[in-house]
Amino acid sequence: MKLSVRQAPVRSVWTLQQAGVHPLLAQLYAARGVHSTDELDDQLSRLIEPSQMLGCAQAAGLLADAMHERRHICIVADYDCDGATACAVAVRGLRLLGQALGFDRVSYLVPDRVVDGYGLTGAIAQRVKAKGADVLVTVDNGIASFEGVARARELGLQVLVTDHHLPAHREGRIALPPADVIVNPNQPGCAFASKAIAGVGVMFYVLLALRAQLRDRGLYAQAPQPKLDALLPLVALGTVADVVRLDANNRRLVAQGLKRIRAGHMPAGLAALFEVAKRKPAQASSMDFGFALGPRINAAGRLSDMTLGIECLLTDEPTRALELAQQLDQINRERRDIEGHMREQAMAIADARANADAPAPAVVVFEPDFHEGVVGIVASRIKDKMHRPTFVFAASGAEGKADELKGSGRSIPGFHLRDALDLVAKRHPGVLLRFGGHAMAAGCTVPRDQLETFEQALQQVAREWLDAATLTRQLETDGPLAAQYRRPDVVDTLEQQVWGQGFAAPTFCEELQVISQRLVGQGHLQLKLQHQGQAVDGIWFGRTQPLSSPARLAFRLDADEWQGQRRVRFVIEAAEG
């Protein structure tokens, strides 16, 4: 592990401090590319205008017409947290905006991960038609669903695709499905600056445009204009849980959602999820979304039916919300058990096949008894340990698909996973039946008898694209922590900020003396460290090997409470060497 230090431009640090930003925050923000307080302004008025997102105005017109004509709108969701929150935002938002019209003909349908696979299919389009729908709206999917969109149109449905994934390539060029309207900042010709917006954010923008459309049509001349800010807690959850880059626009969406949650304003389902996760809404942070609430929603889509997660986010009845949240919590416990067993198997396979002298630049693992709902998490764990692009495959559970394997991949910086799959598909036609995703996460389906060919092809791309420097695990840090900031109130200040993908939470590093160390709990290393002449407690979760002293350590700050006293604790993330 190599520890590096982010560089903070001195002028930017000075500018932020002069504007009244806390000195430590000024240093941290400048190191993350923030140069002025304008970039830190999280007011809703600073959001990018919906008019900048291609297709938003047309989508608003389509939905407004449907509402005036009392047409049935059906939302087709995805089975992860982004898709679930996007679905809940769509249903809640359309019902809210339709109140002045007396319109509530909104339903939803969520595909089954095993039976339906990913995206809008012809079979799903038929189920939507059978529900009596007139308009089909995808959320967090659909941009590559050519056959599904075409079938929906054949059935007489209007189709609105809202998505944020990269479009597919056909015959060497970008292709779009034949929908009536497409809203996706990553489609050709869209000037929307926040390309990293999540699927739930795209749907929220469509609702903003729809409200403006209804206002322009005079709907709210006599009735009060609905406030959509009640949806922001759900937007924030989906944005963080989908691990999209937290650019300035996404940080505003998350910050606004957190403010409402901390003030106690959130859907009953979110409150219930905080309760079962034993987290305090008044102290909510983006970490809660990523590590407590998001996994519980995701578990439903992985092992059960995402309808549970969506219903939890839609209900306004606290008792019902708690019941659903408890079910999600139990499913998540089951997911952790399955994941633990699969992770041990997968790690053993990967370790056994690793060549110590010349380790493969990419890892591919398959076992017949792997659960396809958990392969993505296991791939992430292997990627973290081995620092290699990793795919984990499971046998497809879909009827009639016994000869297919479904894989989920996770990548490292410098290796664009979806582009790698695209190159594999071009070089080896027929090896990939389906694929899609992003730079850091992607999925694919391969014929069972082509897995070895896929593995060799992926490793060949990795050999071409990755070098020794890229394959060396690196952790960017914020350098030494001044002793004056080793205080609980500073920890609280840091936790109130929005951190996440592309805007990493503060991690400090410096050489520390190890005064004492011992194993506690289920294999954690408890430490007593000397930091700039003073003793401080430390903990390294999951570490069992003792540390030498001194050691150059990367750590984040935590506030530990003991006998009514709050003390700063260093949570160790890595050691150099």
Q: How much is the pLDDT for 188?
A: 96
**366-376 residue pLDDT tens:** 999 999 899 99
For 231, the token pair is: 């949806």
* Banded pLDDT at 400 (limits 50, 70, 90): low
The CA distance from 59 to 180, in Å, is 9
Average pLDDT over residues 427-439: 90
Q: How much is the pLDDT for 437?
A: 80
Packing angle, helices 268-276 and 232-241, rounded to 10: 50
Average pLDDT over residues 338-357: 86
Do you find a cis peptide bond into 550, omega within 30 degrees of 0?
A: yes
pLDDT cut 90: percent of the chain above it: 86
Closest CA to 293 of 85, 442, 482: 85
Q: How much is the pLDDT for 117?
A: 78
Q: Whole-angstrom distance between the N-terminal and C-terminal Cα of the chain?
A: 5
The CA distance from 375 to 27, in Å, is 38
Q: How much is the pLDDT for 564?
A: 81
pLDDT value at 357 more than 70 = no
Closest CA to 437 of 164, 180, 40, 110: 164
* Banded pLDDT at 143 (limits 50, 70, 90): very high
* Banded pLDDT at 398 (limits 50, 70, 90): low
Q: How much is the pLDDT for 399?
A: 60
Q: How much is the pLDDT for 221?
A: 87
Q: Cα 152 vs. chain centroid, distance in angstroms?
A: 29
In order of start, what are the domains of the chain with their CATH numbers?
Answer: 44-330 (3.90.1640.30), 354-465 (3.10.310.30), 474-575 (2.40.50.460)
- Cα distances from 469 to residues 385, 462, 473, in angstroms, run 17, 13, 8
* Banded pLDDT at 433 (limits 50, 70, 90): very high
Q: Cα 333 vs. chain centroid, distance in angstroms?
A: 20
Average pLDDT over residues 157-185: 94
The CA distance from 37 to 29, in Å, is 10
Q: How much is the pLDDT for 352?
A: 86
Q: How much is the pLDDT for 553?
A: 98
For 119, the token pair is: 């995206």
pLDDT value at 1 more than 90 = no
Q: How much is the pLDDT for 563?
A: 78
Strands 173-175 and 106-109, bridge-based pairing: unpaired
| Lowest mean per-residue pLDDT among 125-134, 232-241, 378-387, 400-409 | 400-409
pLDDT cut 70: percent of the chain above it: 99
The whole-chain average pLDDT of the chain stands at: 94
The CA distance from 101 to 98, in Å, is 5
Q: How much is the pLDDT for 396?
A: 85
Q: How much is the pLDDT for 522?
A: 85
How would you classify residue 255: left for phi > 0, otherwise alpha for psi between -120 and 50, otherwise beta? alpha
Average pLDDT over residues 431-451: 91
**304-314 residue pLDDT tens:** 889 999 999 99
* Banded pLDDT at 526 (limits 50, 70, 90): very high
**80-118 residue pLDDT tens:** 999 999 999 999 999 999 998 999 999 999 988 777 878
**239-293 residue pLDDT tens:** 999 989 999 999 999 999 999 999 999 999 999 999 999 999 999 999 999 999 9
The CA distance from 322 to 303, in Å, is 20
* Banded pLDDT at 356 (limits 50, 70, 90): low
